[in-house]
Chain A
Amino acid sequence: MAAAPAIVFRDVNKWFGKLHVLRDINLAIGAGEVVVVCGPSGSGKSTLIRCVNGLERVQGGDIAVLGASVTARGVNLPALRTRVGMVFQSFNLFPHMTALQNIMLAPKKVRRLSHAEAEKAARALLARVGLVEKADNYPANLSGGQQQRVAIARALAMQPKIMLFDEPTSALDPEMINEVLDVMTTLAREGMTMMCVTHEMGFARRVAHRVVFMDEGQVIEEATPQAFFAAPKSERGKQFLSKILTH
């Protein structure tokens, strides 16, 4: 685990109206670190990850990503977001574009690559996620697992330093979960800094350097997966694990 922090949350607070969704979050994620954020529904974990690339604004504290503030006034969010890839629960491929076009879009429009360069890179990424032969398929003609792998390739096309995963397997049929987790595992092994909101505790155990457990907008505990799964320190952590690991 490298020392230089890639993401730093300092005293972060956020409200949705009167609902206090993030409470005094202090958290640092190192470069090359893989952190799994887990917790019960409504604990604020998705909101937390969405603050990293400014999809949600915070009302208190600050967040720095790769040394630059996300929360200060007048931040150039598009520039920051080119360095932070995001994968969503609902895939969010663009339905009017083929898999290849989905991947080529941002490199062409944001990084200003030529069509040929962007296509070459996109095909290489499709190969990496095992979908070369699906380049010309539209999202509607791909399975959920395939769509999510294309979505990961699309995020990687911007050559991000950090990848955010917001419940990437929650919308998938069980038999498709592993194909997505395999891609994520490879990515982690290659040294990508990753922040993953997921219920895949097997993935957390095998791949994560650290597990962050949240409840009611707070970070309740942080530990190595070994420590957390063997013996959570908090009562709420114990309850959470007993609920999700029994089935």
Chain B
Amino acid sequence: MSYTFKWSVLWTGESGRWLLQGLLTTLELSALAWLLAVALGIVAGALRTVRFAPLRWAATSYVEFFRNVPLLVWMFFWYFGVPPLLPRAVQDWLFNHGAEFWAGMLALGVYHGARISEVIRSGIQSIPRTQFEASVAMGLTTFQAYRLIILPVALRLIVPPATNESLNLLKNSSVALTISVAELTFQTRQIETYTAKAIEALTAGTVIYLVLCLSIAMIMARVERRYAIPGLIARVGPAA
């Protein structure tokens, strides 16, 4: 084997700055997309369980349309497909203000929102219908019943699968490199291109993703414990 490791490529020259910028872009892209995905997921997941059929159909259409097309295709769609449909001035403005970032954010958020909504729906459907009846029987509106009872309980139940989806979202943010968002994977490839040190660059990226994801998993585990509903099977640590 003739490969000579040269780890110093990671902190000499521009590498360190590139990695840091990539990390920040990944975080920013993922955080915004996550907020969008959770908001869409809650709305669509809840609407799929209401009595009024047109709202259910609308939410189902959203879910089935967006989760059944590859994320990569959505990236291309929002970046190459949508802008030409917009007025010229808007296009110019977008491409001067990081259009690729916003396209990537939308693709990630809308795609994962469709997936998260199914997680939330399963949480809602695991709650006995009588909980909803008890809520409205005391004068709460349907909206209040969802906001105060159904969703707070459902969200507590779905922390483990929601953690999964959140980690997937963060890792999938790397797909945005295909529309030239300068996120973490994009930057590791740039280092590789400039230094020809593929293993070092990929190792740096791998370690950063791993640390990010493990941190999120740990935070979510704390959230899960903090908001656990007394009386359910204890999932972490001793019974409440």
Contacts and interface: CB of A to CB of B under 8 A. Distances in A.
A88 B138 contact: no
Interface string B147-163: 01100110010000000
Given A96-B229, A105-B148, A110 B153 contact: no
Interface in B185-229: 227, 229
Interface residues of A, number: 30
Which bracket fits the contact residues of B? 20 to 34
Contact of A79 (B134, B139, B144, B152): B139
A218 interface: no
A66 to B, nearest CB: 14
B128 A90 contact: yes
Contacts of B153: 94-96
Contact of B138 (A79, A110, A138, A139): A110
Interface of A: 53, 55, 77-79, 81-82, 84-86, 88, 90, 92-96, 105-106, 109-110, 138-141, 151, 154-155, 157-158
Given A96-B153, A139-B231, A155-B137, 17 more contacts: A78-B140, A81-B136, A81-B137, A82-B139, A88-B134, A94-B153, A95-B153, A95-B229, A95-B230, A110-B139, A110-B140, A110-B144, A138-B230, A139-B230, A140-B232, A157-B138, A158-B139
16 contacts: A77-B136, A78-B139, A79-B139, A82-B138, A82-B139, A92-B130, A94-B131, A94-B134, A95-B230, A96-B152, A96-B227, A105-B140, A110-B139, A140-B229, A140-B231, A151-B134
Interface of B: 128, 130-131, 133-141, 144, 148-149, 152-153, 156, 227, 229-232
